[in-house]
Amino acid sequence: MIQIALVDDHAIIRDGIKHLLLDEADIAICAECERPGALAALLKQQIPDVLIIDLNMPEGGGFPLLMTLRPTYPNMRIIVLSMHESHTFVAKAFSLGADAYISKTRATEELLPAVRAVLRGERCLSSDLLQADRAQDALLSPRETDVLKGLLQGKNAKRIAAELGITDKTLYAHRTRLMSKLQVSTVADLPLRALSLGLV
């Protein structure tokens, strides 16, 4: 039986999630609470397989909760279910250990598949957010896409330049344009952006 816990400060949202999931014979809601501070006591009683959390909550919201949960419960899968649809929120959630990010507008269709996906070890982004980011991806040139893929594979700039048959200077120019188009400030941010683009 898949055990799921819910953290959302709106009872109507928690009820809606339960309605979506409890028709499944292999899923049970083992705990629910309306604020992050109440979660610690629940986790002492039982660690769920999947935790579904909101970001917009009292006591600092979901981000501080993610920050403390992932190091403490590395095997618990965490799904963010949020009304916030900006890349900044998505990237931050994944960087703090979320396994999936589903917008509340797509929850009816995509929350249950996300639960099953994260339990298989996959990371998920809801289709509306993925489509928005892929529209941005269409702005990348084929060469910029090649550079991005090389960086995601952990290759250094010189190796990528050599493999693509371009100079280091040209490689750095492509990388600079790539970072600008994908709205990241450092190379280290590219993997998170690539995740939201569906490239990894």
CATH of the domain at 78: 3.40.50.2300
What pLDDT, on the 0 to 100 scale, is given for residue 151?
Answer: 81
Q: How far is CA 195 from CA 18, 47, 101, 165, 199, in A?
A: 28, 27, 11, 27, 6
As a dihedral over the C-alpha atoms of residue 153, residue 158, residue 160, residue 165, rounded to 10 degrees, the angle is -170
* CATH, residue 167: 1.10.10.10
User: For residues 174 and 101, what is the distance between their CA atoms, to the nearest angstrom?
Assistant: 30
pLDDT band at 196 (very low <50, low <70, confident <90, very high): low
Q: Among 125, 146, 166, which residue terminates a domain?
A: 125
What is the per-residue pLDDT across 2-51, written as a single tens digit (0 to 9) for each? 999 999 888 888 999 998 898 889 999 999 988 888 888 889 899 999 99
Which range, 23-27, 127-131, 192-196, is most confident?
Answer: 23-27
Write out the residue range of the structural domain in which residue 156 sits: 134-197
What pLDDT, on the 0 to 100 scale, is given for residue 135?
Answer: 46
What is the per-residue pLDDT across 56-113, written as a single tens digit (0 to 9) for each? 877 777 888 898 898 999 999 999 998 887 777 887 888 888 999 998 888 899 999 9
Structural domains of the chain, count: 2
Q: How far is CA 171 from CA 148, 149, 154, 166, 194, in A?
A: 11, 13, 15, 7, 18
Greater confidence (118 vs 55) lies with 118
What pLDDT, on the 0 to 100 scale, is given for residue 101?
Answer: 92
What pLDDT, on the 0 to 100 scale, is given for residue 96?
Answer: 86
pLDDT band at 182 (very low <50, low <70, confident <90, very high): confident
What pLDDT, on the 0 to 100 scale, is given for residue 58?
Answer: 74
Asked whether residue 190 falls in the same domain as residue 97, the answer is: no
Asked whether residue 182 falls in the same domain as residue 95, the answer is: no
Asked whether residue 111 falls in the same domain as residue 77, the answer is: yes
Which range, 40-49, 141-150, 177-186, is most confident?
Answer: 40-49
CA nearest to 82, candidates 72, 74, 73, 94: 94
Cβ(162)–Cβ(116) below 8 Å: no
Asked whether residue 97 falls in the same domain as residue 158, the answer is: no
Cβ(56)–Cβ(7) below 8 Å: no
Has residue 134 got a pLDDT over 80? no
Has residue 136 got a pLDDT over 80? no
What pLDDT, on the 0 to 100 scale, is given for residue 99?
Answer: 92
The separation between CA 120 and the C-alpha centre of its own chain, rounded to angstroms, equals 15
As a dihedral over the C-alpha atoms of residue 26, residue 30, residue 33, residue 39, rounded to 10 degrees, the angle is -120
Q: Among 84, 99, 125, which residue terminates a domain?
A: 125
What pLDDT, on the 0 to 100 scale, is given for residue 200?
Answer: 47
User: For residues 4 and 167, what is the distance between their CA atoms, to the nearest angstrom?
Assistant: 52
